[in-house]
Amino acid sequence: MSRSDLDNAEAAERSTAAAVQQARAVVGAARISLSYATVTAPIAGRAGQQGVTEGALVGQGTPTLLTTVEQIDPIYVNFDQPAVDIERLRRAQTTGSVSLAHDRASVELTLSDGSVYAHGGTLDFRDLSVDPATGAVALRALVPNPEHQLLPGMFVGVRLTSGVVNRAFLVPQAGLQRDGTGPYVLTVGPDDKVVEKRVAVEALEGPSWIVTAGLADGDRVIVSGTQNARPGATVAAVPTGAQEQSAQAAAGGATAAGPATRAGGR
């Protein structure tokens, strides 16, 4: 083979190799263009109403909303908690009266008809900043929704359990009174005399108040007839549920205080 034929063959090989690379680049560009025809959702869920029809031109200058994908199971529940409540819990944890949950706090939902949602959730996110307009911190709960009973945009009631009160008493609402100084209860002392006790109240727990200070184990709190009971007066108290006639008979000539309930710690 002459030197000229060899040079021509090598030049043809290099030219062909360049053509192959060019063809591969064309294929890559075609694949990129083809990928624009398929939009993959970044999350799993259900697509709502379509925003455009097939064949429409989208993405020119301004982004176009194609559809909205909603995650149904599990579902997020967004709510707020006052910053003062969070600070109060932290102070209570410092003093040892409250033990906050080490793992994620539990969440219970109440539906619009007042019924309790069957599945409990967990606190998934707590913001680090306070909204200056509301004075609250944004929170988010993750709740199972296997029956798809909850739908995006619904309003529900949220009960957040952040920890456990280490020592407290449940006092019926009728037994707690308030004046200009604050909350107090009337109790029956060992000598059957009415004793006024100032208490610290946290919140409601069903039909009862959570009292964290001011009461001792075994205190008898007057829950009925408080209008006739005065501090220092002698009364004849009977347990809650006993007949009022029995209380009056046992009182004799003393001022009857009505039923009483015995405080129990928890």
- Report the alpha-carbon distance of residue 256 to residue 258 in Å, rounded: 6
CATH of domain 169-262: 2.40.420.20
- Report the alpha-carbon distance of residue 211 to residue 262 in Å, rounded: 13
- Contact yes or no for 259/223 (Cβ under 8 A): yes
Bridge partner list, 116: 110
- Render each residue's pLDDT in the chain as its tens digit; 266 residues: 888 888 888 899 999 999 999 999 999 999 998 887 787 888 888 888 888 888 888 777 788 888 888 888 889 999 998 888 878 777 777 777 677 776 678 889 999 888 999 999 998 888 888 988 888 989 999 999 999 899 888 999 998 887 777 778 888 888 888 888 888 888 888 888 888 889 888 777 778 888 888 888 888 888 887 777 788 888 777 777 654 444 344 443 333 334 555 444 44
Task: Decide which of 3.20.20.70, 2.40.30.170, 1.20.1540.10, 1.10.10.350 is the CATH code for 75-165.
Answer: 2.40.30.170
- Report the alpha-carbon distance of residue 217 to residue 214 in Å, rounded: 10
Closest CA relative to residue 145, chosen from 42, 68, 45: 45
Residues of the chain with CATH 2.40.30.170: 75-165
Overall pTM > 0.85: no
Residues of the chain with CATH 2.40.420.20: 169-262
